Amino acid sequence: MKKKILVAVDGSVYSSNSVDYLIRLFKKESNLTIQLLSVVSAGSSDQNWMLDVDPLRGDTPAVELRKAKARRYLEDARARLLRNGFTEEQVEFSVESYSTSIATSIHHHANQGIYDGLLIGRRGVGKVGEMFMGSVSADLITKCHEVPLWIIDGEVTSTSFLLSVHSSPQSLLAADHLAFIMQNNPNTQIYLYHSSSVFGSTQAAPPDHFHDQWGKEWCNEHLDLDNHLYQAHTRILVDNGVPEKQISQIPPHRDIEASHDLLRQAKKHGCGTIVIGRRGREVEKGLLGGVSDRTTQHAQNMAIWLVG
């Protein structure tokens, strides 16, 4: 089955890091399509507000200049991918202009297409970066729950993954997403790890909460709720094309701050990407959502995949 990734490109070093990340993970993956997207502001200051009342009116010269510049960025990114093993059929690009915010525009495009992931590079957490995660990536973390969101910070050189495991359906969905994306890839290692806070942890979901997705029979056989679903996550990975020899289990641990513990374990085991299943918008402020937010905030030279 074909995989399709949407990649936000703006010509910055952050989107360049995103392209490098794709090359390291997928340079020999023929079953992948990459859609490069650049969004430029239509802006009301140059009379593009007229588009709202006259849809046949063309872009202003200012917007056309922005589009031409964005197209050059996209062509450069595409050429870089082609030089590193991707074919012309695998890489497409488009430029779009919106009068809304960049994050809203990217989110809208992601929802309109059929994508398996949305990849965006972000500013760092240092003084040169914006507070927290930068406005675009921070907004997308809040808005984007329909498509798995991949946030890239800095240079990610490792192709190994840390899968954060929890006794929740969202966590198993994250394993399913990771397995689909990395199936039959011989150059990756996946580490399963459960971290919880010493001040309280999320309770295991009832077994019937898993039935709609995986069926009662599968759940009766594989759900090890008393073991944070380590075996259930492993089964999903193996059944979806990840060889068992490429999967390792790290014993669970309790820490003062689970997000810092995830980052620490990822670095200890040489992982470039942390994969986290998160709850929906309606419970975004819950513990699992809080861990995913804080892990993303503090990640440096690492990718975070948020699924759910």
What is the predicted pLDDT for the residue at 169? 96
Please check whether residues 149 and 176 belong to one and the same domain. Answer: no
Please check whether residues 177 and 136 belong to one and the same domain. Answer: no
Query: In terms of residue numbers, what domain contains 227?
Result: 161-307
What is the predicted pLDDT for the residue at 251? 96
Please check whether residues 83 and 202 belong to one and the same domain. Answer: no
> What CATH code is carried by the domain that includes residue 36?
3.40.50.620
Please check whether residues 199 and 68 belong to one and the same domain. Answer: no
**Domain final position from 94, 121, 153:** 153
> CA-CA distance, 254 to 275, in Å (whole number)?
19
The H or E element that residue 178 is part of is helix 169-182
**Domain final position from 97, 119, 153:** 153
* Axis-axis angle for helices 135-143, 102-112 (nearest 10): 40
pLDDT lower than 70: segments of the chain: 43-59, 123-134, 199-201, 281-289
Please check whether residues 199 and 219 belong to one and the same domain. Answer: yes
Task: Give residue-wise pLDDT tens across range 188-211.
Answer: 999 999 998 876 667 889 999 999
Q: Percent helix, strand and coil across the chain, each rounded to 5?
A: 45, 20, 35
Count of the separate structural domains present in the chain: 2
Please check whether residues 122 and 242 belong to one and the same domain. Answer: no
**Domain final position from 153, 175, 206:** 153
What is the predicted pLDDT for the residue at 282? 62
| Residue 127, helix vs strand vs coil | coil
What is the predicted pLDDT for the residue at 52? 44
Task: Give residue-wise pLDDT tens across range 208-244.
Answer: 999 999 999 999 999 999 999 999 999 999 999 999 9
Residues contacting 179, CB < 8 A, separation 6+: 236, 237, 239, 240, 241, 242
Please check whether residues 7 and 118 belong to one and the same domain. Answer: yes
Specify the residue for token string 């150059």: 187
What is the predicted pLDDT for the residue at 58? 60
pTM: 0.89
Residues contacting 259, CB < 8 A, separation 6+: 291, 292, 294, 295, 297, 298
> Within 10 A of 298 (CB to CB), how many other CB atoms are there?
17
Please check whether residues 229 and 284 belong to one and the same domain. Answer: yes
Residue 1 is encoded by which pair of tokens? Answer: 């089955």
Please check whether residues 64 and 114 belong to one and the same domain. Answer: yes
User: Which string of b and e fits 161-182 if b means at least 16 CB within 10 Å?
Assistant: bbbbbbbbbbbbbbbbbbbbbb
Please check whether residues 69 and 193 belong to one and the same domain. Answer: no
What is the predicted pLDDT for the residue at 175? 98
> CA-CA distance, 265 to 143, in Å (whole number)?
28
The sign of the dihedral angle between the CA atoms of 278, 284, 288, 291 is positive
Sheet containing strand 3-8, edge to edge, reads 91-98, 32-41, 3-8, 117-122, 149-153, 302-307, 273-277, 161-164, 190-197, 247-255
Please check whether residues 68 and 175 belong to one and the same domain. Answer: no
Please check whether residues 165 and 282 belong to one and the same domain. Answer: yes
